[in-house]
Each structure stands twice: as C-alpha cells, then as structure tokens.
Amino acid sequence: MIGYYLNLALRSLKRNKVLTALMVLAIAVGIGASMTTLTVLHVLSGDPLPGKSGELYYPQIDPQDARGMMPGTMPPEQVTLIDGTNLLRARQADRQALMAGGAVPIQPDASALDPFYVEARYTTADFFAMFDVPFLYGHGWTGIDDEAHVRDVVIARELNEKLFKGADSVGRTLRIGGTMFRIAGVLDSWRPNPHFYDLTTGSYNYYEQAFLPLQTALELRFAKNGSNDCWGNGTGGVVGGAYPSATCVWLQFWVELDSPARAAAYRQFLVRYSEEQKALGRFQRAPNVQLRNLMQWLDHNGVVPSDVRLQAWLAFGFLLVCLVNTVGLMLAKFLRRSGELGVRRALGASRRALLAQLLIESAVVGTAGGIGGLLLAFFGLWLVRHRSSDYAALVHLDAAMLLVTFALAISASLLAGLLPAWRASKVAPALQLKSN
C-alpha cells in the first residue's frame, strides 16, 4: 500500500511542477539555514573527551586579598605556583596535573632547517594518562622525573614529521632553547577541540607541539603564554623574576576523580586547605571553592560564542516561517484535489487512507527538500570555513548531522502537511460528486 501511495504522490507532484518546486524550495532553504547553524553549534559544543569528561574536574580556590571582596564573587580561574604545588603534592586525587602554556625555540641539527618556535605545554607527569593522550612512539615521563627536573620532552606527530620525517625518534636528542632534551615520546594525532585544559591560550584550533616537565621549564625560564591575574603590590616574581609573582594566578590545575563521592570529598579537601592557608596568613578570605567537571567548566567559561547560539535560534525561526509558507502551499494543493479525493472516498477509501496518502506525499516533498537543504548546508558551511574565526576550520558535517538533516526535513514536511492533509481528508464525497 505504501508503494501505491508513493506512486500517487509522485504523479501528483509532477502534475503541478511549479507548486511542487516552491514547496521543496521553502523546505530546502529553511533546512539549509538551520542545519548550517546547528552544525556549527554541534561542533563547538561537543564533548572533547567523550566517556571521561565526567571524571575530570577543575578545582578553584581563592587566595586573593580582602580588597574588593564581595559576596558571591567567583574564585580565580587559575592557581598560584605555591597553591598549585601544594595541591599537587597533597595527592588527594586519582590523577592530577599542574600546567601552563608557553613557546619554546627549536634548534634542529639538520642544516636545512632554521630554528623556529613552537607552542609548548609545561605540565606534570599525569597529564598524558589523565587526558587519554594517544602515543605513536614511546611514552611520557614519570612523577619521579618531575621531581628530578629531567630534560625530557614529548613532541607532537607534526613536529616529528618535520624533524625526523616520521621515524621513531624516541631516545634521540633535541635542542630546545639551547638545552639538549631527550625525546621520551611522540604523540599520535591529538587536537582536542575546544582546547579545554587551558582556555587562556585559545579555545579552538590551538594545539601544542612540545610537552615539557613543568619544573624543568621553570628552571630554564622558558617563555610563558596565557593570562595571569595579580593582586596586592604584585612585586617580584618566582624563579628569578621570570614568571608572575607569588600573588598572581597563572597556572591551570586539573584532577581526575572516579566517582561523585570522590568529587565531594575533594571539594571538602579544598575547603580544609583554604582554612589552613587562612590560618597561616596566606589567605585573607573565607574558603571560596568551586569544583566543576569538564563540561561544566566549558559552560561556565561560555566557550560556545553567544552569537553562534543566537544564529541557531534565528535560523530555526526562519525554518518556522518556511514551514508556515509550506503549510499554505500544501493546503492550496490538497484542497484543489477535492474532487479526486471525493471520488476515492465514494469508492470506499477511508479518511485514514486519504490522510496516509497525503502525508506520504508530504514526506516525498520533505525528502526532496532535505536533499536541497543538504546542498545548501554544505555551501553554508563552506562559507563559515572561510571566515576569520578560530573555529572556522573545524566546521564539517559529520554522519550524525547528515542523518539529522534528513530527519528534520521529513519531520518538518510531515508537520507542515498534517493540517492540510487532515482538512483534505474530511472532504464530503457526496458534495464533490454532485459538483462534478
């Protein structure tokens, strides 16, 4: 029966090609606009570590002085070197990583390559296991290596390709900032988006090519990237004045906690730590702590640009306008066929059968509109990729969004055709036969 209704639908649509084209175009334009913005929103709001993001937390404490203190003020979004080191050494989490962004000069041995700078990450040993970082060759360093200030480095696959033509470079040496480092590992392709573990250096399309032990980078005074926030006099600095002072927050600290109970216990640990530091005279404010998991942290920082969300709402509003126009076109088309439908009713067809026939015709229009909308979405995403935003290159239509496109198109056309089909199915056969 479905095949029969499908045949009737195709014949009906061919009978009035202009009206059919208008309905298909209305749905295609609405679907193209909405799917373009929805795909951008989908890419930007995705989980960078599916399956593990619920176990990763970003602790916040408040070491600031009492000036400007107001109830409800959020604690700083980074930690001082003193607090980061204290929390790291307390070992209250399953895994933990203290880190900062930077840039280091690479001085290749090959005479064909000039020295160049790469983005770097100064971090501690648990970074790689905690964030499920994939390795192509070798591995990271250990916690003992952190304490020993070893000259080890993990490099990205792109840097390994550039320096060693993709060969296994583990154990070889690399001169960084005038110091020889041993390559401990080479990462496989890894570019999490958004750049969740340090939003101060960039939210999207930002990645590092060299990963060094934090204490080693501090000792060698490698350049720091990212923001810092200071209070008080802000005089002096740590490590010979090369980095922000002890009254500045500038490092990121992440922990891995495998259960909600562990997270609750860690929050209490942060409160106790803040109380202890206040008793010692370092903290002046009452304990003010936050502990958000990865997705909550991204939401708190508004990683998805507000204009992207606004564009998505506007696009779906435009789709609604297109559906209203489609309802009018379908109503005109179906009611014009009252005579044909009346004859079918007189020959024994039920109202349910007529309703099914007309809804299948609506679904055919929706499928054609979905194909047109998909082509428009591809064009819209191509335009987005040519914008000068940091996320533009990431926007592509994946398999899931492809299915959503057709599901949305067919659902929209069925919704638009429901009222016209219901009105047309209620035609009085006797009246139509008499008028004919």
The SS3 of residue 429 is helix
Question: What residues contact 406, with CB distance under 8 A and at least 6 apart?
Answer: 367, 370, 374
State how far the Cα of 61 lies from the Cα of 84, in Å rounded to an integer. Answer: 10
**What pLDDT is attached to residue 345?**
62
Q: Other C-beta atoms within 10 Å of 372: how many?
A: 20
**CA angle, 94 then 98 then 100, to 5°:** 150
Predicted TM-score of the model (pTM): 0.77
Residues contacting residue 219 through CB under 8 Å, at least 6 positions apart: 149, 239
Q: How far is CA 371 from the centre of its chain?
A: 26
Strands 252-256 and 95-107: antiparallel
Give the pLDDT of residue 236.
52
Tens of pLDDT, residue by residue, the chain (436 residues): 667 667 666 776 777 778 888 888 888 888 888 888 888 877 777 788 988 999 999 999 999 888 766 676 889 999 999 999 999 999 999 999 999 999 999 999 866 788 999 999 999 999 999 999 999 999 999 999 999 999 999 999 999 999 999 999 999 999 999 999 999 999 999 988 888 999 988 778 788 999 999 999 999 999 998 888 888 765 556 665 567 888 899 999 999 999 999 999 999 999 999 999 999 999 988 899 999 999 999 988 888 777 777 778 888 888 888 878 877 877 777 766 666 666 666 666 677 777 777 778 778 887 888 888 888 888 888 888 777 666 666 677 777 777 887 787 778 777 777 777 777 666 665 554 455 5
| Integer Cα distance of 362 and 368 in angstroms | 10
For residues 226 and 120, the answer to whether their CB atoms sit within 8 Å is no
C-alpha radius of gyration, the chain, whole number: 31
Q: Specify the pLDDT at position 326.
A: 79
Place of tokens 């110091």: 179
Residue 431: enclosing H or E segment and its boundaries?
helix 429-435
Q: Give me the residue label for tokens 């298909």.
A: 24
Q: Which residues of 192-204 are buried (b: 16+ CB within 10 A; e: fewer)?
A: ebbbbbbbbbbbb
Residue type, 112: A
Cα–Cα distance measured from residue 77 to residue 327, given in angstroms and rounded to the nearest whole number: 51
Please state, in angstroms and rounded to a whole number, the distance separating the CA atoms of residues 246 and 344: 85
**Residue written as tokens 């995705």?**
46
Q: H/E/C letters for each residue in 181-225? A: EEEEEEECCCCCCCCCCCCCCCCCCCCCCEEEEHHHHHHHCCEEE
Rounded Cα distance, 361 and 355, in Å: 10
Amino acid at position 124, single letter:
T
Judge contact between 315 and 37, C-beta under 8 A: yes
Structure tokens at 89: 């050494």
Whether residue 204 contacts residue 44, with contact meaning beta carbons closer than 8 Å, is answered with yes
Helices within 287-337 (DSSP H only): 294-300, 306-336
Give residue 145's pLDDT: 94
Q: Which two tokens stand for residue 257?
A: 């906690």
Tokens encoding 191: 């570019």
